[in-house]
Amino acid sequence: MRIVLVGGTGRIGSRVAAKLLGHDVVLVARSMGVDSASGAGLREALSGADVVVDVTRPPASEPAAADAFFRRSTANLLREGRSAGAGHHVALTIVGTRRRPDIRYYAAKAMQERLIRGSGMPYTLVHATQFFEFVGEIADAATAGGSVRLPRALVQPIAADDVADALVRTILAPPVNDDVEIAGPERFPLDDFVRQALVARNDSRLVLADHRARYFGGRIGMRTLLPGPHAAIGTTRFDTLLAELRTSAVTAISPLPAEL
């Protein structure tokens, strides 16, 4: 089985590739000269593919850029995957996109999902909750005037390694032609999740719960970011991430040894 991993050098893609050692895996990335959005090099890269796995992210974070990227990239991947005879299209997306929150990036991902569902290709859409490793980006997006303001919505964050494990299981299984959800084992108020992570990495920003605060520009409810009752649950607990963050913070400020 030939597996083409599009976005294979990124945060999730590189982990998936490492877990698929021994399988016939083709990595596709802009840094390798293949661009899913423009289509450059894509036909050759997908030649002979049995499974096409889409873990791409747009090169820019602007909402309009995300929408255009996912529209072009997904259409190209579906077309070339069908031409190659692929029997399974797997895409990583986000828990909450189908609840239509007022978040432009989520709207772009929801559009991507609709293209895949309507393509006629056998597929599986893997919806993940927030990655543990994404906490810094959440804090940065919510920072104003030196403090981080976040709604007190609930989150059930998942480790990137657990996301990769779930994707590997999906890749090696038949398509379900449906959505599946994956999440971490613990729930937290969003502000508590970010607060603990920033303390662990020696980040002095004050984190405040604010019911008026937006999440990446959108309004969310208490349960918008939570998975449904049938989500697959990862095993990595938040304490593991906090320990890694503390170690990284200590390493970052440790003095270099004196030269002999």
Predicted confidence at residue 251, as pLDDT, reads: 52
Nearest C-alpha neighbor of 155 from the set 177, 130, 182: 130
CA separation, residue 157 to residues 53, 80, 86, 187 (Å): 22, 33, 32, 7
pTM value is 0.92
DSSP class per residue in 22-51 = TSEEEEE-GGGT--TTT-TTHHHHHTT-SE
Work out the angle between the directed axes of helices 104-117 and 63-84 (0-180°, nearest 10): 20
Average pLDDT, the chain: 92
Q: Give CA–CA dist 117/94, Å, rounded.
A: 15
Predicted confidence at residue 4, as pLDDT, reads: 98
What is the percentage of the chain residues whose pLDDT exceeds 70?
94
Residue 255's pLDDT band (boundaries 50, 70, 90)? very low
Nearest C-alpha neighbor of 248 from the set 194, 201, 182, 216: 201
Return the CATH fold of 2-251: Rossmann fold (3.40.50)
Higher per-residue pLDDT: 11 or 249: 11
